């Protein structure tokens, strides 16, 4: 299933997801895929085909510049 998912990764753009990088820690069987998504829902829809056979976590992140605007109003 993972091979089919990755072979069909061009559909990411159709879902509103841009793949920025992808790496595999082979000895751990762990995949790290960095994406930029238009929404959290688009991200879930993109990874949905893996749900029946894979486990994973999603860690939303933002840039440091954006974050510092939120924690220190003087930086706006």
The whole-number pLDDT of residue 18 equals 93
pLDDT for 17 beyond 90? yes
pLDDT confidence tier of residue 75, bands split at 50, 70 and 90: low
Render pLDDT for 25-65 as a digit per residue (tens, 0 to 9).
999 989 999 999 999 999 998 888 888 888 888 888 888 98
3-state secondary structure of 71: helix
The whole-number pLDDT of residue 7 equals 87
What is the distance between the alpha carbons of residues 10 and 7, in angstroms, rounded to a whole number? 8
How is residue 47 written in tokens? 């990874």
pLDDT confidence tier of residue 76, bands split at 50, 70 and 90: low
């Amino acid at each position: 299933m993972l091979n089919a998912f990755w072979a069909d990764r061009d559909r990411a753009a159709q879902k509103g997801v841009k793949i920025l990088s992808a790496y595999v820690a082979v000895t751990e069987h762990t995949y790290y895929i960095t994406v930029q998504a238009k929404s959290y829902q688009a991200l879930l829809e993109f990874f949905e085909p893996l749900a029946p056979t894979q486990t994973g976590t999603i860690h939303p992140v933002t840039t440091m510049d954006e974050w510092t605007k939120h924690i220190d109003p003087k930086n706006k």
